[in-house]
Amino acid sequence: MILGIKTPTPYQRPSGLVLGFHGCDREVGEKVLSGDVPHLAMSKNDYDWLGEGIYFWENDPQRAFEFATEAMKNTKITKGKIKEPFVIGAIIDLGVCLNFLERQALDELKMAHAFMKATFKPTAGKSFPTNGKDRGARNLDSAAITMVHSLRKSISSPQNPLPEYCTVKGAFWEGGELYPGAGFDAKNHIQIAVRKPEICIKGYFRPIL
């Protein structure tokens, strides 16, 4: 362990495959399904909730379709323009996963944030990142996650190998109470950001909606 960064445990390499669903424009999805393009495009926005990657809703094609429908009406939600909402499914091997449902991942993220805070040097026009209102834009979280990846890469050595994370996974609670007094929110979901699609994505498919 160096600077609080541990080598992956066997539990950071989940067994089995998971299904992910991506909401997009039909033209984009059809190009991937036909093989005209090998993979969906990586999201590389400063406000991405899980940092850089191809985003999927885990086991929830309905939520993916709702997102695509909402993005068609509100162009601020996604940079890509959606003319016809569409959902594409993916068979995903999580590989070495930075899973924020696990304690070790949370500890590593906290350490990365502390390092980022300690080494940050403000300049003209550049301030320390913050999350947006209601956490709709997560510039702070995205920057901290990016720092996790950067630190692992810089510290890794033949004597202390630290494999890069292939995927990032997190659970999110949003949408307000499902019903009065509920402990569940209306839009609870699990997201997966695939950083290494050539390794993790075993195939795409057309889901049944």
Closest CA to 24 of 58, 91, 72: 72
Q: 165-185: buried (b, 16+ CB within 10 Å) or exposed (e) per residue?
A: bbbbbbebeeeeeeeeeeeee
Is 33 part of a structural domain of the chain? yes
Cα 72 to Cα 119: distance, rounded to the nearest angstrom: 40
Closest CA to 164 of 53, 59, 90: 53
Q: What are the structure tokens assigned to 111, written together?
A: 């350490």
Q: What are the structure tokens assigned to 191, written together?
A: 């997201």
Percent residues over pLDDT 90 in the chain: 75
pLDDT at position 53, please?
Answer: 97
Percent residues over pLDDT 70 in the chain: 96
Cα 200 to Cα 192: distance, rounded to the nearest angstrom: 11
pLDDT in tens, 24-63: 999 999 999 999 999 999 999 999 999 999 999 999 999 9
Is 151 part of a structural domain of the chain? yes
Confidence of residue 167 (pLDDT cuts 50, 70, 90): very high
Structure-token match 């068979």, residue found? 91
What's the predicted TM-score (pTM) here?
A: 0.91
pLDDT at position 50, please?
Answer: 97
- Choice between 1 and 203, residue whose per-residue pLDDT is larger: 203
pLDDT in tens, 114-154: 999 999 988 877 899 999 887 788 999 999 999 999 999 99
- Choice between 37 and 8, residue whose per-residue pLDDT is larger: 37
Confidence of residue 209 (pLDDT cuts 50, 70, 90): confident
- Choice between 119 and 159, residue whose per-residue pLDDT is larger: 119
Mean pLDDT score across all residues of the chain: 91
Domain of 104, in residue numbers = 18-120+127-209
Residues in contact with 108: Cβ distance below 8 Å, sequence separation at least 6, in sequence order: 4, 5, 6, 98, 148
pLDDT at position 3, please?
Answer: 55
For residue 7, pLDDT beyond 70 = no
Measure Cα distances from 172 to 47, 52, 88, 141 in Å.
15, 17, 21, 13
Is 9 part of a structural domain of the chain? no
Is 10 part of a structural domain of the chain? no
Is 154 part of a structural domain of the chain? yes
Cα 190 to Cα 15: distance, rounded to the nearest angstrom: 18
Is 3 part of a structural domain of the chain? no
Is 56 part of a structural domain of the chain? yes
Cα 70 to Cα 62: distance, rounded to the nearest angstrom: 12
> Mind giving me the DSSP string for 145-206?
HHHHHHHHHHH--SSS--PPPSEEEEEE--SSBSSTT-SSBTT-EEEEEES-HHHHEEEEE-
Is 108 part of a structural domain of the chain? yes
For residue 110, pLDDT beyond 50 = yes
Kind and range of the H or E element at 155? Answer: helix 139-155
Confidence of residue 1 (pLDDT cuts 50, 70, 90): very low
Kind and range of the H or E element at 154? Answer: helix 139-155
**14 backbone dihedrals φ, ψ, rounded to 5°:** -60, 140
pLDDT at position 4, please?
Answer: 59
Question: How many folded domains does the chain comprise?
Answer: 1
SS3 142: helix
